[in-house]
């Protein structure tokens, strides 16, 4: 089984992935980790803008599904995999082609996401909510073929979760989704 995670900035995708990894026995791979790894090798500072540009360049050079294909072909060791950070519809198409794939979209109110983002201290994260809105706008809906289209990815999801409560509430919602996935099999 492959579970894909997509969603807005700081919505809780990593928290969902960590929960599924530690409580349900999945391997977890993030597309962003693949890009950060390549950025480090190339001496590129891992800011959000630099990583977005590198991701777009990689899609141009190696195909739109380059990131999840790299994960599935070179990193995944079992048949129980989470691929988080899906931002391009062709990434989802590729994973669906492998079969036994389910996509979960994670979202939360922007004010809460901004607060979470501030606490994680990643390089290049927005300094204020207006900057966050602008960066998110660039990743949500792009007309460039190689660019990120999180909005389209979220619309393609089999399941959606709004992470607007505590961690226990999120885990409960994920358990319900996981049970629904297992019942579909």
Using one digit for the tens of pLDDT, what is the confidence trace for 27-42?
Answer: 999 999 999 999 999 9
Q: Which helix (H) or strand (E) holds 49?
A: helix 48-62
- Of 18-22, 93-97, 124-128, 160-164, least confident by mean pLDDT is 124-128
Strands of 159-162's sheet, edge to edge? 27-30, 81-84, 2-7, 101-107, 159-162
| Tokens matching residue 84 | 């988080």
- Predicted local distance difference test score (pLDDT) of residue 45: 92
Q: Which domain covers residue 81, as residue numbers? A: 2-184
- For residue 137, how many C-alpha atoms fall within 13 Å in the half-sphere facing its CB? 6
- Predicted local distance difference test score (pLDDT) of residue 18: 97
CATH number for position 154: 3.40.50.300
Calculate the average pLDDT of the chain.
Answer: 91
- Look at the chain and report how many structural domains it folds into: 1
Q: Is the pLDDT of residue 72 over 90?
A: yes
| Tokens matching residue 59 | 């899609």
- Predicted local distance difference test score (pLDDT) of residue 145: 55
């Amino acid at each position: 089984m492959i579970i894909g995670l997509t969603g807005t900035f700081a919505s809780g995708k990593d928290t969902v992935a960590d929960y599924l990894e530690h409580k349900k026995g999945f391997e977890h791979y993030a597309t962003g980790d693949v890009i950060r790894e390549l950025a480090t090798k190339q001496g590129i500072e891992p800011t959000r803008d630099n990583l977005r540009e590198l991701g777009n360049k990689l899609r141009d050079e190696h195909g739109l599904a380059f990131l999840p294909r790299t994960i599935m072909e070179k990193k995944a060791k079992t048949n129980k995999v989470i691929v988080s950070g899906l931002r391009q519809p062709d990434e989802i198409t590729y994973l669906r082609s492998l079969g036994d794939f389910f996509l979960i979209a994670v979202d939360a109110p922007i004010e809460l996401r901004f607060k979470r983002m501030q606490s994680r201290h990643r390089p290049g994260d927005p300094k204020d909510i207006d900057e966050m809105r602008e960066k998110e706008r660039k990743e949500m809906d792009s007309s460039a073929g190689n660019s990120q289209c999180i909005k389209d990815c979220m619309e393609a999801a089999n399941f959606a979760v709004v992470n607007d409560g505590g961690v226990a509430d999120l885990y409960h919602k994920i358990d319900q989704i996981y049970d629904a996935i297992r019942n579909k099999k």
